[in-house]
Amino acid sequence: MENEQDNVPDLLSRFKTLLKVGVALSAEKDGTRLLEMILKEAKRIAFADGGTLYTRTDDNKLKFEIMLSDTLKIHTGGTSGVPVILPSLLLYNKKGEPNLDKVAVCAAIRGETINIPDAYTNTEFEFSGTRAFDKQTGYRSQSFLTVPMKNHDGEMIGVLQLINALDPVTGEIGVFGSSEQELVESLASQAAVALINQRLLEEQRSLFESLIELIATAIDEKSPYTGGHCRRVPELTMMLAEAAAETKVGPLKEFTLTEEDRYELKVAGWLHDCGKITIPEYVIDKSSKLETLFDRIHLIDTRFEVLKRDAEIAMLREQLAAQARGETIEEEAMDAKLAQQIETLNDEREFIRYCNIGREHMSYALKERVLRIAQHRWVTPEGKEDYFLSEEEVDNLNISRGTLTTEERKIINSHIDATISMLEALPYPKYLQRVPEYAGGHHEHMDGSGYPKGLTREQMSIPARVMGIADIFEALTAKDRPYKKPMHLSQALAILGQAKQDSHIDPDLFDVFIHEKVYLRYAEKFLAPQQIDEVDVTKLPGYKSLI
């Protein structure tokens, strides 16, 4: 609209301009730019030298949003970055009476346009503030056109005030004529509709975001061991995506993000694990290999006590039998033998406790020892002799990585299928159509070995690949996982670099992650101080500098 000529002398041209303004107002999505456009176009249509736009607040005030003056070269509020320092106007005084001596307030309260030819001769309204402003600036605020903006219910939502009507030919200050008033009133009506629509969109978006965050919080709070994951992943996702969009070198230098792209990726980040709401708590919360509803290591502790008791009983029986036969009892030797047996059992109990803790790797030698201990025989409370460890307990204790069995890991992994199914069932607006793709791809690998669809790098968008790195790095560095201690930054980056070499994560995004120090910004915000150690990026596996 600002490419139109500033002087539009004939009424027909101004009507055409008004129509174009209406279209532009409907298309504008940014609330601040919308307010500024309303004032600027009203000023141009009515040939005004300046103007002010107010919005009504919930506490019954008129808030100065934008102030413009061509003569004084003033542009405050709006997109100027310069705040309007004038105080808001109270619609009502302390007694609840309307402040009708203020022209903007009067127009708002009465819902009527007020056209004042000369503020200096007007006796109905109080213009002391205007005169003080004029005295300070040398300006002459003369004619005022004050138009209320109403919504479809007739409620006042703002006030549009123009100052000093200018003759389009001579530039002299005059009055706002009836045609200018009608044009501005028409514009104010269109502007009110645009403002209401824009606010409704903002409110709907705010509600939508609140619901998304509510779902993410519910998932995080479902387990004390993953609290914060659904809140941290979107933040790291956006950090990396912004870094990739800003980089001017390397393979991703052409990658860009629009505001809608950013919002779409942010929403996907918040919803990337929504399917976990279907996963049983006992699987999500499994902090040790033997845990189900409780940690069964305590049952095994009891069995060791039974073995120690049985060993002592066996020794006492042996002594009694020797006595009955009249044989000499070598008590010291028998006590030493019992002590050795108990020491061995205690050592085995500590070993089983050690194996019960989830780790990154369970060696073959450790698994062999678990199998040997499992062959011990003990008498159950029912009086039945049985193997010391059941087959299911052996399988759990010999889990190679973490705390989950193969079946339990399948249950955990199924969350991504649930996520995709849930997200694909939603009716998205156009600018959120790719949310299921972004959220559903964070467990895919670049070589096609990931899940659930086995996608390759070429089949995935860059935002989906970004989320994959964010999800892995958050999990590596999280302080709240039940199966591992908080990992140092250097160790997490080394594992991430190995993932690049194994073609599990996007190599170009990994290089941006390191080169732009995204990892450090995230660490300083979310990691414990003791986790942040020195990182020599030149020694990270797979890292290739962008310069």
Q: Other C-beta atoms within 10 Å of 172: how many?
A: 9
Q: Domain limits of the chain?
A: 11-200, 223-279+407-539, 297-401
User: What pTM value is reported for the model?
Assistant: 0.69
Residues contacting 127, CB < 8 A, separation 6+: 103, 119, 120, 141
Integer Cα distance of 254 and 247 in angstroms: 9
Integer Cα distance of 260 and 262 in angstroms: 5
Q: Is it true that domain 223-279+407-539 has CATH number 1.10.3210.10?
A: yes
Integer Cα distance of 298 and 350 in angstroms: 12
Residues 295 and 482 sit within 8 Å (Cβ to Cβ) = no
Fold held by 11-200:
Beta-Lactamase (3.30.450)
pLDDT tens track, the chain, 547 positions: 444 444 445 666 766 776 777 777 777 777 788 888 889 989 988 999 999 999 999 899 999 999 999 999 999 998 898 988 889 999 999 899 999 999 999 999 999 999 999 999 999 999 988 899 899 999 999 999 999 998 877 889 999 999 999 998 898 999 999 988 998 998 888 888 888 888 888 888 888 888 888 887 777 777 655 657 888 999 999 999 999 999 999 999 999 999 999 999 999 999 998 888 887 877 877 778 888 878 899 999 999 999 999 999 989 998 888 888 888 888 888 889 999 999 999 999 999 999 998 877 889 999 999 999 999 999 888 889 999 999 999 999 999 988 888 888 888 888 888 888 989 998 988 889 999 999 999 999 999 999 999 999 999 999 999 999 999 999 899 876 655 677 899 999 999 999 999 999 999 999 999 999 999 999 999 999 999 999 999 999 999 988 7
Integer Cα distance of 312 and 339 in angstroms: 9
Integer Cα distance of 60 and 293 in angstroms: 56
Residues 45 and 33 sit within 8 Å (Cβ to Cβ) = no
Please report which helix (H) or strand (E) contains residue 516, including its range. none
